[in-house]
């Protein structure tokens, strides 16, 4: 069975280094980072998005992914 969706999520407050962490991980050959990162998904902030379920968030983020040990 192939795992669907990310293997990790980066979450953080504004100006806390999440963009830097994203860019650092994106450089690693075994990590695929979802694109585009802007605008950031508001999944945990918007009740309607949350009600659709986590797979509704992941599907558009991982389109075009390449084989990777980690996906975020």
All structural domains of the chain with their residue ranges: 31-67
- Report how far residue 59's alpha carbon sits from residue 43's, in angstroms, rounded to the nearest whole number: 13
For residues 62 and 41, give the distance between their C-alpha atoms in angstroms, rounded to a whole number. Answer: 13
**Is the entire prediction scored with pTM above 0.75?**
no
Predicted confidence (pLDDT) per residue in 8-66, tens digit: 888 888 889 988 999 999 999 988 888 766 667 777 888 998 898 887 777 666 665 55
């Amino acid at each position: 069975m192939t795992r669907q969706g990310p293997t990790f999520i980066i979450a953080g407050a504004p100006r806390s280094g999440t963009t830097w962490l994203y860019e650092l991980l994106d450089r690693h050959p075994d990590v695929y980072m979802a694109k585009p990162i802007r605008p950031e998904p508001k999944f945990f902030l918007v009740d309607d998005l949350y009600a659709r379920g986590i797979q509704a968030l992941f599907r558009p983020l991982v389109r075009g992914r390449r084989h990777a040990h980690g996906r975020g």
